[in-house]
Amino acid sequence: MPVLKVRTSVAVGIVALFSFSAPSAFAKWKNPADRYAEAYQQYLGASCPIAQDGMKHFVYFARDREAIKEHPFLDHARFEGAQIMYPWRELEKGEGDYDFSLIEADLAYLQSKGKTLFVQLQDASFNPDYVPVPDYLLVDAYAGGAVQQFDDDNRAEGWVAKRWNSKVQERFAKLLLALGEAFDGRIEGINLQESAIEVSKEQDQQFTPAKYADGLKHNMSSMKAAFSTSVVMQYANFMPGEWLPFEDEGYLKSVYEHGERIGVGLGSPDLMVKRKGQLNHPIAMMHERDYTAPLGIAIQDGNYTGRTGTTEVIDSKQNIVPLLHAFAEDFLKVDYMFWVNQEPYFEKDVLSCFE
């Protein structure tokens, strides 16, 4: 996950505005950024066992595909299957040279256990040493193909394909088409990675937030054209160039609207029910309208302890799995939940609640 930037300009302007207003006016003002800050509290009474629901539950293994072998979730009827991440560079060895043997092997194993597969297609990484796109893209003909991401302290934190570059989009669409020909109707679904990136014109002169939003929508359309039967989903959490609710350029909203219009599901990593960033971006987008396209939410590393991006184990803590489930079911009304295989929490907290 990229580090979320702290936006201060809008907050300073608001304070300045109300410093010239009557105290009573300031007292009546309610910060829209806090509108969902207490929403989770209505689900604090949720408990185990988790009752039958209308959702499909998957276990997220990231790229640790070998961990599905003899995993305890295989014996639980409530879990439909595994969500596994496959890097672009592992699926296309050279231009047009596709190798889907890893997906075939995992699908075959899961089907032998009565389970199915949800593919996550990786074109971004959060490891500065790992470039997830094929080497043939890393040339001038594709404007370098990928760009390095940097956090607020200017530390390299990963790479992302140039989703805003038309030639990269063309190659990505061909990959999706090949995947669709091989797996449409055989797998449960496929999703594209999160929209949040840390890129600016300093890294690529061709980049603009508007071009980036258009690039995401282009990839979503390509995915939908390639898969007519299996579920297709875009993880859309944050967008460069805006910070909701005050700096709203319509980028994230347009991604959700496009998905609903063409039948591409919308989702997000990290179910963080107390963090304003998530509450004002993907959670607000899901909660504030009705969708015919499927919605999904991922519980990822750290979420079992109310954090994100960490595998640290906290010995004494409350099991918040019932809270996360109730929030997702009622407040978000999602169709899919992806529970990360983070131990000891998955077996101790998740499986125990789904008994």
Instruction: Report d(CA 285, CA 118) in Å as an integer.
Output: 23
Mean of pLDDT values over 223-238 = 98
Distances in Å between the Cα of 328 and the Cα atoms of 45, 174, 205, 253 are 14, 34, 39, 20
pLDDT digits (tens, 9 = 90+) for 245-302: 999 999 999 999 999 999 999 999 999 999 999 999 999 999 999 999 999 999 999 9
Closest among 260, 243, 261 to 252, alpha carbons compared: 243
264 three-class SS: coil
pLDDT digits (tens, 9 = 90+) for 130-158: 999 999 999 999 999 999 999 888 889 99
Mean of pLDDT values over 311-326 = 91
Instruction: Report d(CA 95, CA 169) in Å as an integer.
Output: 14
Helix H or strand E segment including 212? helix 209-226
pLDDT of residue 234: 98
Other C-beta atoms lying within 10 Å of the C-beta of residue 56: 21
Which string of DSSP letters, residue by residue, matches 181-199? HHHTTTSSEEEEPPS----
Other C-beta atoms lying within 10 Å of the C-beta of residue 276: 18
**Torsions phi, psi for 339 (to 5 deg):** -95, 115
In this predicted structure, the answer to whether residue 19 has a pLDDT above a threshold of 80 is: no
The encoded tokens of residue 339 equal 């529970």
Q: Given the structure tokens 């997702």, which residue do they identify? A: 328
H helical segments located in 58-204? 88-91, 101-112, 166-183
pLDDT of residue 151: 85
Instruction: Report d(CA 2, CA 121) in Å as an integer.
Output: 18
Closest among 238, 294, 242, 299 to 266, alpha carbons compared: 294
Q: How confident is the model at residue 7 (pLDDT cuts 50, 70, 90)?
A: very low
Instruction: Report d(CA 292, CA 265) in Å as an integer.
Output: 9
Superfamily (CATH) of domain 51-350? Glycosidases (3.20.20.80)
**Torsions phi, psi for 329 (to 5 deg):** -70, -45
Residues in the chain: 355
H helical segments located in the chain? 9-19, 23-28, 88-91, 101-112, 166-183, 209-226, 251-262, 276-280, 282-287, 321-326, 345, 352-353
CA 301 to chain centre: 12
DSSP structural state of residue 349: I
In this predicted structure, the answer to whether residue 8 has a pLDDT above a threshold of 90 is: no
Instruction: Report d(CA 153, CA 169) in Å as an integer.
Output: 30
In this predicted structure, the answer to whether residue 22 has a pLDDT above a threshold of 70 is: no
Per the CB < 8 A criterion, the answer to whether 159 and 134 are in contact is no
Per the CB < 8 A criterion, the answer to whether 338 and 118 are in contact is yes
Per the CB < 8 A criterion, the answer to whether 48 and 69 are in contact is no
pLDDT of residue 109: 98
In this predicted structure, the answer to whether residue 110 has a pLDDT above a threshold of 50 is: yes
The encoded tokens of residue 107 equal 């699908």
pLDDT digits (tens, 9 = 90+) for 23-73: 555 567 899 999 999 999 999 999 999 999 999 999 999 999 999 999 999
